[in-house]
Amino acid sequence: MFCYQCSQTAKGTGCTVMGRCGKKDTVARLQDNLIFVMKGISAYNYHANELGRKDESVDEFLTKGLYSTLTNVNFDPEDLISLGLKAGETNLKVMKMLKEAHIDNFGEPVPVDVKVGAQLGPGILVTGHDLKALEELLKQCEGTGVKVYTHSEMLPAHGYPELNKYESLAGQLGGSYTDQRKIFSDYNVSILVTTNCIMPPKEDYIDRLFTMDLVKVPEATVIKDYNFKPLINKAIEIGPLKQEELTTISTGYGLSTILSLAPKIKELVEEDKIKRFFLVGGCDTPNPKMRYYRDFVQNLPEDTIILTLACGKYRFNDLDLGDIEGIPRLLDLGQCNDAIVAIDLALALCDLFDCELNDLPLTIVLSWMEQKAAAILWTLLYLGKKDMLIGPILPAWLNNDILNVLINNYNLSLISDSEADIKRIMG
Ligand code: SF4
Ligand code: SF4
């Protein structure tokens, strides 16, 4: 544990073994867990609020949850686990609210093949999760000749009809947030970072880097009030990109699209032509162990369907996995907050097969990096989902006591060797 939030802190630097207040290691870690999950909820809640959606019960939970971590308030580990599950429930509400707001504003996503690579003309590269910012930018780019490219978590924007209708939305450059320092250097365009994950910028692109809203790095220009003129002018001043050879990448599998395939999916499952569904996704990280996710997807048997989301998908979304009688084997559901689509889909499949969540042939393999992924993990625990695998490492704020609760109640495990994991799961 490490806590230095009050004046009693050990040696004036931090309680690391036990709190002077009486707080024990497990309680301190469960409080940290709660804070991290609430950070994730706050990010989604913030974006839903921006689109005009609010839920008082979410704000009430965030206030109550934070208060529970104050000095000398809650020393009960069981209650802090319950609060973690309540946080998961709250995150479910928030993701639903954000998804509804996205659909109301931009339509429901439909599958689309996105061009990957530079096209002739001046360009702007947009990264992050904020679709409203992208919409405003696309409006302002119309008629300027500037092409707008998505990066990382902005790729799913192409699936939304009300965003895809803009001619200026040209394609995609690069992959997950981890490649940004290379991609931002390689492509001479102006760059907009709308949310996390920004990395400390390199000097060679700092003069063409723009941020907005809560995202700040020293020396980058901050866009105010959705006035993207400085960003667009910079792109024009830089001049055109050269045409590259283009590839494509698919995204945009919304709930309605997949549910329209439900009768066929049912038939294929009953005929044993689809044996298992996998949700493999989450954050990317530069950790070399992330190679697991490509190996895992690549080695899955051909009678499996893989749902994916968030920027962990760039580990394998260039693979051609083919289809099962017309049903693509790899379906990109969107951003990390689109975990709600995966959840709604799983619940719809439960109805279709008349079974409980844990009886579905569905395995979740979650790659996590930051606190939104922690919020999603606790949402899945709240729903009672068992047998999940997480990686590349276990959250460092868990200790054996907390881990034992997660293993005993949910059979949560750490990823190991991809082939061994597949063998164990497929039986
Ligand atoms: S709240 Fe407790 S554990 Fe934290 S610094 Fe104060 S005495 Fe230490
Ligand atoms: S999916 Fe996670 S790691 Fe990737 S950009 Fe979003 S928050 Fe960052």
What confidence tens digit (pLDDT) does each residue in 351-402 have? 999 999 999 999 999 999 999 999 999 999 999 999 999 999 999 999 999 9
Query: What pLDDT score does 97 carry?
Result: 98
Ligand nearest to the CA of 5: 1
Residue 167 pLDDT level (bands cut at 50, 70, 90): very high
Q: Count Cα atoms within 13 angstroms, Cβ side, for 62.
A: 19
Query: What pLDDT score does 253 carry?
Result: 98
What is the phi/psi pair of residue 62, to 5°? -60, -40
CB of 177 within 6 A of ligand 2: the answer is: yes
Neighbours of 318 (CB within 10 A): 12
Query: What pLDDT score does 23 carry?
Result: 98
Sheet holding 362-367, edge to edge: 330-332, 304-308, 276-282, 362-367, 389-391, 413-414
CB of 15 within 6 A of ligand 1: the answer is: yes
Looking up tokens 């693979």 gives: 319
Q: Compute the average pLDDT of residues 71-87.
A: 98
Percentage, residues of the chain above pLDDT 70: 100
CB of 257 within 6 A of ligand 1: the answer is: no
Looking up tokens 């693509």 gives: 328
CB of 231 within 6 A of ligand 2: the answer is: no
CB of 21 within 6 A of ligand 1: the answer is: yes
What is the pTM for the complete model shown? Answer: 0.97
* Average pLDDT, rounded, for the chain: 98
CB of 213 within 6 A of ligand 2: the answer is: no
Q: How, if at all, do strands 123-127 and 147-150 pair?
A: parallel
Pocket test residue of 287, 372, 377 for ligand 2, highest count of atoms within 8 A of CB: 372
Model pLDDT for residues 302-313, shown as the tens digit of each residue: 999 999 999 999
Model pLDDT for residues 417-427, shown as the tens digit of each residue: 999 999 999 99
Q: Which atom of ligand 2 is nearest to the CA of 284?
A: 3
CB of 385 within 6 A of ligand 2: the answer is: no
The answer to whether 35 and 24 are in contact (CB under 8 A) is: no
* Closest C-alpha to ligand 1, atom 6: 6
Model pLDDT for residues 239-286, shown as the tens digit of each residue: 999 999 999 999 999 999 999 999 999 999 999 999 999 999 999 999
Residue 405 pLDDT level (bands cut at 50, 70, 90): very high
